A and B are shown apart, each in its own frame.
Chain A
C-alpha cells in the first residue's frame, strides 16, 4: 500500500467530458506533483505545487488544470482531452520541493480517452 492515494484507479472518458483526478497524502509533505506516464516510458513531470502554490508548469496544455485545495489534496481537472492524452497519471509528494529527499508516488489513475 502506498501513502499517496489516487482516485479513481481507472477512468474512461470521451473527448467532450469533464472529469477530475484526485490525490491525497497525509505525510505532512508540502510539495506535490503530477506526472504523466506512457507505457514503457519514464514518468514525465507536468506540475509542481509547493506550499499549495503552483510552482512549475512544464508547458502543459490548458486542457489539464491542476488545483491544490490544501496541503493534503491535489486535483487534476480534465476537459476536452485528446486520444493522445491516454496514459497513467501519477501523483507524488515530498517534504519540500527543493530537498534531496525522494518523491513518494501513488499508484496512478489509468486514463483512457475515447
Chain B
C-alpha cells in the first residue's frame, strides 16, 4: 500500500517561513498527483488550502503557497502567524478516483 509521508512536526517563529513536504514511500511526486493541502485545528473540520499543486482555495491568504520541490510536493507558509498553528495534511491522487492522505505535520508557532 502506498504511504504518503510528511514531517511529524515543525516549529516556526512568528513572521518566519516554514516549508512542509509531502512525499511517496516509493517514487516521486509530480503535478500528475494533483497535490492538495488541508489545515486542521483541534476540534474543527479540515479546511482546504491548496489544490492542484499551487492553486489557493477561495479565501486562503497568500502567505500559503504550494509547489513541487525536488521529488515532493511542498506547502510553504511565509510570514507565519499565531493562528497558523495547526495540523497540515496533504492528499495525493493515485488514479481511478482513489486518493491518499499524508501522515500529517503539526506546526507550532512560537
Asked if chains A and B come from one complex, the reply is no
Which B residues are within 8 Å of any A CB, using their own CB? Answer: none
